[in-house]
Amino acid sequence: MNVLDFSFFTGEVFRAYILKGMYFSFALTAVATAGGILFGTVLALMRLSGRKFLDIPAAIYVNGMRSIPLLMVLLWFFLLVPFIIGRPIGAEMTAVITFIAFEAAYFSEIVRAGIQSIPRGQVFAGQALGMSYGQNMRLVILPQAFRNMIPVFLTQTIILFQDTSLVYIITAHDMLHGFTVAGNNLSHPRESYILAAVFYFVICFTLSWLVKRLQQKIAIIR
Protein backbone atom coordinates (compact mmCIF):
# COMPACT_ATOMS: atom_id res chain seq x y z
CA MET A 1 0.00 0.00 0.00
CA ASN A 2 1.38 3.38 -0.99
CA VAL A 3 1.87 6.00 1.69
CA LEU A 4 -0.81 8.65 1.73
CA ASP A 5 0.42 12.09 0.76
CA PHE A 6 -1.58 15.13 1.85
CA SER A 7 1.04 17.70 0.89
CA PHE A 8 -0.96 18.58 -2.23
CA PHE A 9 -3.68 20.18 -0.10
CA THR A 10 -2.66 23.82 0.24
CA GLY A 11 -4.51 27.06 0.72
CA GLU A 12 -4.40 27.67 -3.01
CA VAL A 13 -5.96 24.26 -3.71
CA PHE A 14 -8.66 24.94 -1.12
CA ARG A 15 -9.55 28.28 -2.70
CA ALA A 16 -9.40 26.94 -6.27
CA TYR A 17 -11.38 23.72 -5.80
CA ILE A 18 -13.12 23.48 -2.42
CA LEU A 19 -14.29 26.96 -1.42
CA LYS A 20 -16.92 27.36 -4.16
CA GLY A 21 -18.38 23.94 -3.43
CA MET A 22 -18.41 24.59 0.31
CA TYR A 23 -20.26 27.86 -0.27
CA PHE A 24 -22.87 26.08 -2.38
CA SER A 25 -23.32 23.32 0.23
CA PHE A 26 -23.92 25.89 2.98
CA ALA A 27 -26.17 28.03 0.76
CA LEU A 28 -28.22 24.98 -0.26
CA THR A 29 -28.57 23.97 3.39
CA ALA A 30 -29.74 27.45 4.41
CA VAL A 31 -32.21 27.86 1.53
CA ALA A 32 -33.59 24.33 1.88
CA THR A 33 -34.00 24.78 5.64
CA ALA A 34 -35.85 28.10 5.27
CA GLY A 35 -38.03 26.84 2.42
CA GLY A 36 -38.61 23.49 4.11
CA ILE A 37 -39.73 25.10 7.36
CA LEU A 38 -42.05 27.51 5.54
CA PHE A 39 -43.61 24.88 3.29
CA GLY A 40 -43.57 22.33 6.11
CA THR A 41 -45.47 24.68 8.42
CA VAL A 42 -48.18 25.09 5.78
CA LEU A 43 -48.41 21.30 5.42
CA ALA A 44 -48.58 20.85 9.19
CA LEU A 45 -51.39 23.39 9.51
CA MET A 46 -53.25 21.67 6.68
CA ARG A 47 -52.98 18.34 8.50
CA LEU A 48 -54.17 19.87 11.77
CA SER A 49 -57.00 21.88 10.21
CA GLY A 50 -59.56 19.10 10.73
CA ARG A 51 -60.76 19.53 7.15
CA LYS A 52 -60.38 16.49 4.94
CA PHE A 53 -59.88 18.43 1.71
CA LEU A 54 -56.76 19.94 3.30
CA ASP A 55 -55.67 17.08 5.53
CA ILE A 56 -55.74 14.28 2.94
CA PRO A 57 -53.59 15.94 0.21
CA ALA A 58 -51.06 17.09 2.81
CA ALA A 59 -50.89 13.61 4.37
CA ILE A 60 -50.39 12.00 0.95
CA TYR A 61 -47.58 14.43 0.12
CA VAL A 62 -45.80 14.06 3.46
CA ASN A 63 -46.07 10.28 3.68
CA GLY A 64 -45.17 9.92 0.00
CA MET A 65 -42.03 12.03 0.24
CA ARG A 66 -40.93 10.32 3.46
CA SER A 67 -41.25 6.94 1.74
CA ILE A 68 -38.94 7.73 -1.20
CA PRO A 69 -35.11 8.02 -1.03
CA LEU A 70 -33.83 11.56 -1.53
CA LEU A 71 -31.45 10.37 -4.25
CA MET A 72 -34.38 9.06 -6.28
CA VAL A 73 -36.31 12.31 -5.90
CA LEU A 74 -33.21 14.23 -6.95
CA LEU A 75 -32.85 12.16 -10.10
CA TRP A 76 -36.57 12.50 -10.87
CA PHE A 77 -36.37 16.28 -10.77
CA PHE A 78 -33.11 16.34 -12.70
CA LEU A 79 -34.28 14.03 -15.50
CA LEU A 80 -38.06 14.47 -15.67
CA VAL A 81 -38.67 18.18 -14.99
CA PRO A 82 -36.61 19.36 -18.04
CA PHE A 83 -38.46 16.77 -20.14
CA ILE A 84 -41.85 18.06 -18.92
CA ILE A 85 -41.17 21.79 -19.28
CA GLY A 86 -39.06 21.40 -22.41
CA ARG A 87 -35.87 23.08 -21.18
CA PRO A 88 -33.08 22.34 -18.66
CA ILE A 89 -33.15 24.05 -15.27
CA GLY A 90 -29.56 23.35 -14.22
CA ALA A 91 -28.10 21.11 -11.55
CA GLU A 92 -27.97 23.78 -8.84
CA MET A 93 -31.59 24.87 -9.32
CA THR A 94 -32.66 21.23 -9.40
CA ALA A 95 -30.93 20.68 -6.08
CA VAL A 96 -32.65 23.69 -4.48
CA ILE A 97 -36.14 22.69 -5.66
CA THR A 98 -35.65 19.04 -4.71
CA PHE A 99 -34.31 19.74 -1.23
CA ILE A 100 -37.08 22.22 -0.38
CA ALA A 101 -39.77 19.84 -1.63
CA PHE A 102 -38.24 16.84 0.14
CA GLU A 103 -37.28 18.45 3.45
CA ALA A 104 -40.70 20.11 3.77
CA ALA A 105 -42.17 16.68 4.49
CA TYR A 106 -39.79 16.13 7.41
CA PHE A 107 -40.09 19.66 8.79
CA SER A 108 -43.87 19.27 8.52
CA GLU A 109 -43.82 16.37 10.97
CA ILE A 110 -41.57 18.33 13.33
CA VAL A 111 -43.90 21.33 13.24
CA ARG A 112 -46.99 19.15 13.69
CA ALA A 113 -45.47 17.44 16.73
CA GLY A 114 -44.41 20.82 18.14
CA ILE A 115 -47.90 22.26 17.78
CA GLN A 116 -49.47 19.19 19.36
CA SER A 117 -47.05 19.49 22.30
CA ILE A 118 -48.63 22.79 23.33
CA PRO A 119 -51.31 22.22 26.04
CA ARG A 120 -54.87 22.45 24.75
CA GLY A 121 -55.54 25.04 27.43
CA GLN A 122 -53.55 27.54 25.36
CA VAL A 123 -55.92 26.98 22.43
CA PHE A 124 -59.00 27.33 24.63
CA ALA A 125 -57.60 30.52 26.17
CA GLY A 126 -57.17 32.06 22.73
CA GLN A 127 -60.67 31.05 21.73
CA ALA A 128 -62.04 32.54 24.94
CA LEU A 129 -60.46 35.86 23.97
CA GLY A 130 -62.32 35.75 20.67
CA MET A 131 -59.35 34.85 18.47
CA SER A 132 -59.89 33.14 15.15
CA TYR A 133 -58.05 29.90 14.27
CA GLY A 134 -55.44 31.84 12.31
CA GLN A 135 -54.89 34.42 15.04
CA ASN A 136 -54.63 31.71 17.68
CA MET A 137 -52.00 29.86 15.70
CA ARG A 138 -50.03 32.96 14.74
CA LEU A 139 -50.06 34.74 18.11
CA VAL A 140 -50.32 31.98 20.71
CA ILE A 141 -49.47 28.47 19.50
CA LEU A 142 -46.75 28.84 16.84
CA PRO A 143 -44.43 31.16 18.84
CA GLN A 144 -44.35 28.64 21.70
CA ALA A 145 -44.12 25.65 19.39
CA PHE A 146 -41.25 27.07 17.32
CA ARG A 147 -39.26 27.81 20.46
CA ASN A 148 -39.62 24.19 21.54
CA MET A 149 -38.71 22.97 18.06
CA ILE A 150 -35.47 24.92 17.60
CA PRO A 151 -33.12 22.07 18.66
CA VAL A 152 -34.99 19.57 16.44
CA PHE A 153 -34.92 22.02 13.53
CA LEU A 154 -31.16 22.40 13.90
CA THR A 155 -30.64 18.64 14.13
CA GLN A 156 -32.61 18.14 10.92
CA THR A 157 -30.54 20.91 9.33
CA ILE A 158 -27.34 19.00 10.14
CA ILE A 159 -28.80 15.91 8.46
CA LEU A 160 -29.77 18.11 5.52
CA PHE A 161 -26.17 19.39 5.24
CA GLN A 162 -24.90 15.81 5.12
CA ASP A 163 -27.44 15.01 2.40
CA THR A 164 -26.17 17.87 0.23
CA SER A 165 -23.32 15.54 -0.80
CA LEU A 166 -25.92 13.65 -2.89
CA VAL A 167 -26.12 16.50 -5.40
CA TYR A 168 -22.75 15.29 -6.65
CA ILE A 169 -24.69 12.66 -8.62
CA ILE A 170 -26.26 15.39 -10.81
CA THR A 171 -22.90 17.19 -11.20
CA ALA A 172 -23.80 20.15 -8.98
CA HIS A 173 -20.68 21.85 -7.65
CA ASP A 174 -20.96 21.07 -3.92
CA MET A 175 -18.17 20.51 -1.42
CA LEU A 176 -17.78 16.81 -2.26
CA HIS A 177 -17.58 17.66 -5.96
CA GLY A 178 -14.81 20.14 -5.20
CA PHE A 179 -12.77 17.52 -3.35
CA THR A 180 -13.37 15.01 -6.15
CA VAL A 181 -12.17 17.41 -8.86
CA ALA A 182 -9.14 18.38 -6.78
CA GLY A 183 -8.22 14.73 -6.21
CA ASN A 184 -8.59 13.80 -9.86
CA ASN A 185 -6.76 16.84 -11.23
CA LEU A 186 -3.90 16.55 -8.73
CA SER A 187 -3.68 12.75 -8.83
CA HIS A 188 -4.57 12.27 -5.15
CA PRO A 189 -8.11 10.82 -5.20
CA ARG A 190 -7.75 8.73 -2.02
CA GLU A 191 -6.35 11.57 0.04
CA SER A 192 -8.99 13.91 -1.34
CA TYR A 193 -11.89 11.69 -0.23
CA ILE A 194 -10.32 11.26 3.21
CA LEU A 195 -10.06 15.04 3.56
CA ALA A 196 -13.68 15.40 2.43
CA ALA A 197 -14.75 12.99 5.18
CA VAL A 198 -12.74 14.97 7.73
CA PHE A 199 -14.32 18.26 6.63
CA TYR A 200 -17.85 16.82 6.85
CA PHE A 201 -17.11 15.30 10.25
CA VAL A 202 -15.65 18.49 11.73
CA ILE A 203 -18.52 20.66 10.46
CA CYS A 204 -21.28 18.26 11.56
CA PHE A 205 -19.65 17.46 14.91
CA THR A 206 -19.26 21.16 15.69
CA LEU A 207 -22.87 21.89 14.76
CA SER A 208 -24.07 18.92 16.84
CA TRP A 209 -22.12 20.20 19.85
CA LEU A 210 -23.68 23.64 19.45
CA VAL A 211 -27.17 22.09 19.26
CA LYS A 212 -26.49 20.14 22.45
CA ARG A 213 -25.42 23.32 24.24
CA LEU A 214 -28.55 25.08 23.00
CA GLN A 215 -30.73 22.24 24.30
CA GLN A 216 -29.09 22.57 27.70
CA LYS A 217 -29.74 26.32 27.79
CA ILE A 218 -33.39 25.88 26.78
CA ALA A 219 -33.80 23.24 29.50
CA ILE A 220 -32.37 25.63 32.11
CA ILE A 221 -34.72 28.45 30.99
CA ARG A 222 -37.68 26.12 31.34
Structure confidence at residue 121 (pLDDT) = 81
Handedness of CA 27, 28, 33, 38 (dihedral sign): positive
Write down all domains in the chain, each with its CATH number in brackets: 11-221 (1.10.3720.10)
As a whole-number percent, the residues of the chain with pLDDT over 90 amount to 64
Structure confidence at residue 2 (pLDDT) = 65
pLDDT tens-digit map of 82-131: 888 888 888 999 999 999 999 999 999 999 998 888 887 887 888 788 88
Rounded Cα–Cα distance for residues 92 and 97 (Å): 9
Rounded Cα–Cα distance for residues 85 and 172 (Å): 20
Structure confidence at residue 221 (pLDDT) = 52
8 φ, ψ (degrees, to nearest 5)? -70, -20
pLDDT tens-digit map of 119-138: 878 878 887 888 877 788 88
In angstroms, how far is the first alpha carbon of the chain from the final one?
56
The residues of the chain scoring below 70 in pLDDT are: 1-2, 219-222
